[in-house]
C-alpha cells in the first residue's frame, strides 16, 4: 500500500493533465469554428471563401475545390458527432457548399473530372491532372448523406469513388496526364493515403461498402508501406514530408485497429510516428521541419525549413491515437510536446484560427489564416479528433495500479 500511493497520485496527475488538454482543445475548437462561420460563408453563391487574412477579411474570392469539399466534410462531421455543433446554421452552410460542388465542381458533366479552382460563381479556372479534387468531393458527399439522410448525396459519393478507383487501378488516361516513359513506376504516396482515407470514410458503420472496399484498403496499406521502405524506384519520393508520413501513420493505425493487426501496428508506430518525429523535430527551435531528405541532402523545396501548421496538427492526432491504442507513455509525452509547441506558436489569440506558416525560428512568415491550401480542415479536424480521443481516454476505468515499477520511479 505504501508503494501504491505515489502510483495512484501519478495517475491522478496524469488524468488532470488529460482533462486540462481536453478543455483547452475543446475551447480552441469552438473558437476556430466560430472564425470560419463568421468569415467564410458566401451567402450569395453558396460555398466558402477560404482566402482569408489574419483578421478574417477575404483577400481573394476564388474557390478551391479541395477546400470546399473539406469544409463541407468538416461541418457535417461536427454536426453529426458533437452535440454542441448540432445546429441548423452549420448544416445549412454545409448543404449550400455541397450544392455548389454538385453544380459546379465537374468541368464537363456528366464527366467526373473536377476543377482544382473555380471563380466565386463557379466557373472553372484550373484543372489538375490528379484525383484529389474528386477525393474531397467524395468525402463531402458521403458526410452530407450521413448528416442529412438524403440518398442523392451518397449516390454521388459512391459513383465518384468508383471513378477514382478506376483512374488509379485501371486506366488513368481520363485524368489527362500523358503516359511518359521516364515517369516513376510508383504513384506518389499521397494517392494510396487519400484512397485509404476514403475507404475508411465510406466504410464507417456501413458493412456493405466496408466489404466492397476491403481489398482496396489492403492495397493502399501495402503501397504506403512500400514507400517508406524505399522498395520502389520512386526516386522522386526520396524527399519525404514528415507531416505526410505522420498523417499516413494515423491512417494506417486506424487500418490496423480495423484489421486487428498488432504486429503491423508496432511497425507503423516505429516508422510512421517515431522516425519522422526524431528526424523531423528541430532541436534548436522546436517544431517539425516541413521536408526532410532521406539521404540528408538539402531539399530543393524552398519551405523545407519552415514550420507549417498541418504537420503539427497531424502529429498531434498521430501521437494521441498511438497512445490511445497502445498505452505507450512515450507517445503521450510526444503528444504533449507537439501540442505545447503548436498551441504556443500557431494559435492567434487575437483574431482566432491558427497561422499556417512560420519561419524556422517560429516567427509568423505569412499572416494569412486561409489560402489556396489552408482552409477549414486540418485545424478543426485535429481539435475534434483530439477532443474525442481525450474524452475516451478519460472515460476509461482507471486500471489497477502497478505498484512496483511506477512507484519506484
For a copy of itself (CB under 8 A), the number of binding residues is: 44
CB atoms within 10 A of CB 77: 21
Window 90-109: residues binding a copy of itself (CB under 8 A)? 107
| 165-194 positions binding a copy of itself, by CB under 8 A | 176, 178, 180-184
Select from 208, 300, 350, 409 the one that contacts a copy of itself (CB under 8 A).
300
Cell numbers given for 222: 501495402
* 367 scored as a contact of a copy of itself (CB under 8 A): yes
Beta carbon nearer to a copy of itself, 51 or 186:
51
Shortest Cβ 123–a copy of itself spacing (Å): 3
Output 2 or 300, the one with its CB closest to a copy of itself: 300
- Note whether 123 binds a copy of itself by CB under 8 A: yes
| b/e 119-149 (16+ beta carbons within 10 angstroms → b) | eeebebeebbebbbbbbbbbbbbbbbbbbbe
- For a copy of itself, which stretch binds (CB under 8 A), given 28-36, 154-162, 197-205, 296-304? 296-304
Applying CB under 8 A, among 6, 30, 37, 127 the residue interacting with a copy of itself is 127
| 184 torsion bin: left (phi>0), alpha (psi -120 to 50), beta (else) | beta
Distance in angstroms (rounded) separating the CA atoms of residues 222 and 290: 25
The only residue of 359, 392, 398, 402 in contact with a copy of itself, by rule CB under 8 A:
359
* Binding status of residue 365 toward a copy of itself by CB under 8 A: yes
| CB of 261 or CB of 348, closer to a copy of itself | 348
65 belongs to the binding site for a copy of itself (CB under 8 A):
no
Q: Give the contact letters, 215-254, x = binds to a copy of itself (CB under 8 A), - = no.
A: --------------------xx------------------
Residues 370, 374: Cα–Cα separation, whole Å: 5
Q: Verify binding: residue 87, a copy of itself, rule CB under 8 A.
A: no
Question: Does position 111 bind a copy of itself by CB under 8 A?
Answer: no
Nearer to a copy of itself, 12 or 121 (CB): 121
- Identify the residue among 65, 105, 115, 160 touching a copy of itself (CB under 8 A): 115
DSSP secondary structure code for residue 52 in this structure: E
Write down the least CB distance from residue 306 to a copy of itself, Å: 6
Applying CB under 8 A, does 302 fall inside the site for a copy of itself? Answer: yes
Does position 16 bind a copy of itself by CB under 8 A? no
Side by side, which strands form the sheet with 364-366?
Answer: 307-308, 357-358, 364-366
In contact, 77 and 99? CB cutoff 8 Å: no
Helix/strand/coil percent split, the chain, to 5: 60, 10, 30
Q: Can residue 2 be called a binding residue for a copy of itself (CB under 8 A)?
A: no
**Closest CB 54 distance from a copy of itself, rounded Å:** 8
Q: With contacts defined by CB under 8 A, name the span among 20-28, 258-266, 303-311, 343-351 that binds a copy of itself.
A: 303-311
> In 3D, which of 335, 348, 349, 331 has the Cα closest to residue 382?
335
Q: How many CB atoms within 10 Å of residue 10?
A: 14
**Between the CA of residue 109 and those of 31, 158, 280, what are the distances in Å?**
38, 16, 43
User: Cα dihedral angle (159, 216, 94, 44), rounded to 10 degrees?
Assistant: -60
Listed as own residue / partner, the contacts of 254-263 with beta carbons closer than 8 Å and 24 or more positions apart are: 254/200, 254/321, 255/196, 255/200, 255/217, 255/220, 255/221, 256/325, 257/325, 258/200, 258/217
Q: Which residues bind a copy of itself (CB under 8 A)?
A: 51, 53-54, 59-60, 62, 107, 115, 118-119, 122-127, 176, 178, 180-184, 235-236, 295, 297-300, 302-306, 357, 359-360, 365-368, 371-372
Amino acid at each position: 500500500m505504501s508503494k501504491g500511493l505515489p502510483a495512484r497520485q501519478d495517475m491522478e496527475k496524469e488524468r488532470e493533465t488529460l482533462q486540462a488538454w481536453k478543455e483547452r482543445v475543446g475551447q480552441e475548437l469552438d473558437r476556430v469554428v466560430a472564425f470560419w462561420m463568421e468569415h467564410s460563408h458566401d451567402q450569395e453563391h453558396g460555398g466558402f471563401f477560404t482566402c482569408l487574412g489574419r483578421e478574417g477579411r477575404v483577400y481573394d474570392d476564388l474557390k478551391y475545390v479541395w477546400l470546399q469539399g473539406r469544409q463541407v466534410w468538416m461541418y457535417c462531421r461536427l454536426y453529426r458527432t458533437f452535440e454542441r455543433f448540432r445546429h441548423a446554421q452549420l448544416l445549412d452552410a454545409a448543404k449550400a457548399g455541397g450544392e455548389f460542388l454538385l453544380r459546379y465542381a465537374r468541368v464537363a458533366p456528366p464527366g467526373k473530372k473536377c476543377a482544382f479552382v473555380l471563380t466565386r460563381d463557379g466557373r472553372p479556372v484550373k484543372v489538375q491532372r490528379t484525383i484529389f479534387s474528386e477525393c474531397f468531393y467524395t468525402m463531402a458527399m458521403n458526410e452530407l448523406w450521413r448528416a442529412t439522410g438524403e440518398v442523392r448525396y451518397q449516390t454521388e459519393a459512391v459513383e465518384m469513388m468508383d471513378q477514382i478507383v478506376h483512374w488509379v487501378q485501371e486506366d488513368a488516361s481520363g485524368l489527362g496526364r500523358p503516359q511518359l516513359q521516364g515517369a516513376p513506376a510508383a504513384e506518389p504516396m499521397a494517392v494510396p493515403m487519400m484512397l485509404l482515407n476514403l475507404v475508411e470514410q465510406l466504410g464507417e458503420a456501413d458493412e456493405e461498402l466496408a466489404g466492397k472496399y476491403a481489398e482496396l484498403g489492403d492495397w493502399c496499406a501495402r503501397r504506403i508501406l512500400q514507400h517508406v521502405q524505399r522498395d520502389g524506384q520512386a526516386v522522386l519520393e526520396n524527399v519525404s514530408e514528415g507531416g505526410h508520413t505522420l498523417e499516413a501513420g494515423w491512417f494506417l493505425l486506424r487500418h490496423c485497429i480495423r484489421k486487428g493487426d498488432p504486429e503491423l501496428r508496432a511497425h507503423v508506430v516505429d516508422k510512421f510516428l517515431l522516425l519522422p518525429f526524431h528526424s523531423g523535430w528541430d532541436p534548436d527551435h522546436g517544431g517539425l521541419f516541413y521536408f526532410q531528405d532521406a539521404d540528408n541532402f538539402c531539399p530543393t523545396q524552398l519551405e523545407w525549413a519552415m514550420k507549417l501548421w498541418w504537420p503539427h496538427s497531424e502529429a498531434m492526432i498521430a501521437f494521441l491515437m498511438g497512445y490511445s491504442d497502445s498505452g505507450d507513455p512515450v507517445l503521450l509525452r510526444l503528444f504533449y510536446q507537439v501540442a505545447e509547441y503548436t498551441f504556443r506558436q500557431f494559435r492567434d489569440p487575437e483574431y482566432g484560427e491558427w497561422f499556417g506558416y512560420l519561419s524556422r525560428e517560429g516567427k509568423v512568415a505569412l499572416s494569412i489564416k486561409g489560402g489556396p491550401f489552408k482552409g477549414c480542415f486540418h485545424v478543426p479536424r485535429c481539435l475534434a479528433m483530439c477532443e474525442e480521443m481525450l474524452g475516451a481516454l478519460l472515460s476509461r476505468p482507471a486500471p489497477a495500479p502497478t505498484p512496483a515499477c511506477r512507484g519506484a520511479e
